[in-house]
Structure formats: structure tokens, C-alpha cells
Structure 1
């Protein structure tokens, strides 16, 4: 077709994909073209604005490497990640744990650790003891569940943001025991801003949004015949619980990081200073 204009170009673009043999891909691309063209018609961007949009996406890609994923930040801060998560992990059971965003700081295959070990190598901070159980939807404990944990330190910084560290810290992989129990020592995390030195940070600044996330600990739980669970446990009372910049907070994932006095901890360890403690029991959905 020739002589295309704003009334007929969308139908012609969709027609060009008519021979796509992948049904799902064809559905996705047709819907993308329809909604993208609809957005352009609605806002009627100037050529300068469209050029700025392309430049923004180009710079977003240029910020990505093996330790930094700016496109995940963009998806997170636009609420897209949580929408995709909500669609793919609908929870109809009262015993299954709700999921939330993966975030940009997950590193696959973290070092394995024994139950009760400390993961705070090279990190100073207020001690935090975390424990709990992993069960199925019927409440039966699940043994040998792989649990990846990762978090920021007391200043809101992850190990991958600290080039001075020799290896992984505040991240590890545990396996539940026969009773589904897990436990580890760490440091108390704090609220922190997502990285703001890239185009996503610029977007937040010029639109009047803050970049902060409430204090939390990340968990990924994996077991054969069960859905992989990606979630976070948030500190109750945090000032950013109701304005998390990536929209990830759910009431069921908020726990009191209790301040405990010096003395004997639940695992028998004795501390000469106060520490924080929370227990979180996870429920996994059958695949």
C-alpha cells in the first residue's frame, strides 16, 4: 500500500505481519502496534519529543551491563514489573506467599551457606537474625528448598555497588532442613534510593517523584514441582511503605523487625549488644 496516513497506517503495519507463523508472537506484535500507534495519536508528540524518547531509551540501554540493569529499573518505576508479576502470580490460597519484584540487584548462583550462617562478610551494621519455615499450601514442611537471599546494608548499598569487596556479601543460598526450617544472620537493611545516575533517575527527578524503597530483604525460593517464588519481606514502620518507588509492597509481606536486647538469640548465639529479629514462614504453590 502507498499513500499511507494517520488513518490507515496502523492497519497496513499489522498486515505486514500477517504471515508470521508464531501465533503468540503475532498476537503480541499486533497488539503492540495497535497500542503504540494509539498512544501516538492520543498525545501527538512533536518530532523533537519523539527524538527525546528515542534518546532516552538509547541511554537506558547504554547503562546496562552485567551488574546494572537500567531497563529493569525503568520497568519497575513505571509499575510494569508489578503488573506482569500480578498477572503471572495470582494467589487464591490463604497459605501461599505473595510475590513481588525481583529488582535489579539479583545475582544468579550465589555462594551456598549452612543454615544459621552469617552472610555479612566484610559488612558492619546492626545484627539481624532471620528464620522461618517453608511449607506447601496444606501446611506440610518442605525439605531441601533452595532459598536465595540478598539485601542492602545499613546504608542502603548492595555488594555489587561496592567494588572494594572481594566477593559476595549480604547474599547467599540456603537449603531448608527436614522440617522446612531456614535461618541466617545478617545486618539490618535500611531504606535506600534506587540508582539515580542514569536516565531512570532523571525521569524520576523531572516528574517530581522520589527514588526510595523501604527497607527489605529479598528471597527467591525454588523447589521441584512448585512455582518459584520471588518476594521480599519489608520492615514495618518504614516511612516508604506507602510510596515504594517500584510499587512492590504488600501487607502480607510486612513484618516487624523486632529490636531484641543483648543476650541469647533464638539459635543459642549470645550477643553483647541489641539485635533485630524477624520470622517469616513461606508457603509455596504447586506448579
Structure 2
């Protein structure tokens, strides 16, 4: 896709035509029975029309956009979600998380779950290692789970998972990475503290062999996620 170098001016006649078209489409959704669905659909129409009026795509650019979304859907499977990847790259996944996150400043911000969380991480004792291979650089992780008021939460669950030193999760290479490697479910002590041993995780690239990789190449953006460890903390009668 090539960028336009000029943008034709919008005449008053053109603007009136665009406004009339927008009004007609909005009116077609006016009788949507569900109020929330009506709100979402009409907002989508308004913002989509505003976007097109701003960038003024050529017909070839519009055709490319339709083809891009078609190929994005075709790249999805039981083991890969290219649309989620697109949402991540555009910052929409994190924006949705932020919108639905707690508005209490004292709490830790939430983030996207990612595709490699398991509902049944292996239970481990405090101080145990989640490294089942022993080939990476060892490190110690410690922390405290508290309420928004800063009170330690005893016996809170702390679910952790991470990739190995090569940037792979156990489910990505089951032929060489033992199931449960880089994972653990811990319980905090009486003072809300937890600790476990692990290895330093590696950065790793998101898939680049599909439409999202094509987008990154067009934008001259690298595909790497920084090294990180995932945490989910939960406690009875406590919102998380």
C-alpha cells in the first residue's frame, strides 16, 4: 500500500452529501431493539465515517483494506487468533483492559491475559522453583499481595507463567519443554508475601507470517515483546 501525497479538498456540496449519507445509515439502526447494541452500532458508523472522511482512501486503498481484513480472518485458527494480534498491535486490547480496569489508583494496573495462560497451573510451595529444565539464568522473584488499602492478604493465590530463555512457553514446544515448566500456583503467607525461583525470561517476537506481520513491516515496527512474567493474584471476597 502506498501513501497518498495529496488530499483533495472537501467542498460544501461533498460535505453535505457525506452528512446525508451518515444520517441515513444512522437512521437505519435507530430501531435496533437492544439499547446497547444501538449505541455501539451507531457509534461505529459515526467513527468509521469520520475516519474515511479524514484519510479519504482511494478505491485501490479501500480494496486493499478489505483484502487485509479478509486475510486476517482467514489466518485465524484454533491455535492462532490474528484478529486479537491485530488488536494488540493497534493498542485496542490494552485500551479495552484500561477501560475495564479499576479506577482505584493504588492498585496494580491490569494487562492483557495473552494466549498461553493455563487454567490449572501446578500448585507449588513458597520458595519452589518453576524452572523444570535448568538451562537458563536463575533468578528469585518476591512480592506482596495487598488490598487497595495496603493491607496484606494472607493465603491469596498467585498464578504465574512465563516463557523460557528461548522465548517459548511449554505449550509451544511440548516435545522438549516439560508441561508446567515456567508455571506455578502459589499461596501467600500470613503477611501476604510470596517468593519463587525461576529463570530470566527472554523477549520474543509475535507471529509475523500473516497480515499483522505485513502491517508491522509497512510501519517499520519490530515484532518483539519485552521479557516479562505474568501474574494473576486473587483472594476471597476481594475484587481483582
Instruction: Give TM-score, length-normalised by structure 2.
Output: 0.81
What is aligned with 2:195? 183
Q: How many residues align?
A: 223
Please point out which of 41, 56, 59 is paired with 2:53. Answer: 41
Please point out which of 97, 103, 107 is paired with 2:108. Answer: 97
Q: Are 2:161 and 1:150 equivalent residues in the alignment? A: yes
Distance verdict in 2 for CA 1:15–1:107, change over 3 Å: farther
What is aligned with 1:210? 222
User: Deviation string for 1:86-129 (max 9, x for gaps)?
Assistant: 33325543x42223333333333333333222222246211122
For structure 2, the residue ranges without an aligned partner over 5 or more in a row are: 1-16
Preserved CA contact (<8 Å) 1:191 1:215: yes
What is aligned with 1:162? 173
Please point out which of 82, 90, 108 is paired with 1:78. Answer: 90
C-alpha separation in 2, matches of 1:196 and 1:36: 27
Please point out which of 41, 64, 81 is paired with 2:76. Answer: 64
What is aligned with 2:14? none
User: Deviation string for 1:113-150 (max 9, x for gaps)?
Assistant: 33222222246211122122111122221123222211
Q: Are 2:143 and 1:110 equivalent residues in the alignment? A: no
Distance verdict in 2 for CA 1:55–1:173, change over 3 Å: farther
- Using the TM superposition, give the Cα deviation of residue 218 of structure 1 relative to its aligned residue in structure 2, in angstroms: 1.1
C-alpha separation in 2, matches of 1:49 and 1:92: 43
Q: Secondary structure at the match of 1:173?
A: strand
Q: Which has the higher helix share?
A: 2
Distance verdict in 2 for CA 1:179–1:202, change over 3 Å: same
Preserved CA contact (<8 Å) 1:142 1:180: yes
Q: Secondary structure at the match of 1:135?
A: coil
What is aligned with 2:144? 133
Q: Secondary structure at the match of 2:159?
A: strand
RMSD: 2.3
Distance verdict in 2 for CA 1:148–1:72, change over 3 Å: farther
What is aligned with 2:232? 220
Q: Secondary structure at the match of 1:116?
A: coil
Preserved CA contact (<8 Å) 1:129 1:186: yes
- Using the TM superposition, give the Cα deviation of residue 21 of structure 1 relative to its aligned residue in structure 2, in angstroms: 2.5
User: Deviation string for 1:203-258 (max 9, x for gaps)?
Assistant: 11121111122221111222333332xxxxxxxxxxxxxxxxxxxxxxxxxxxxxx
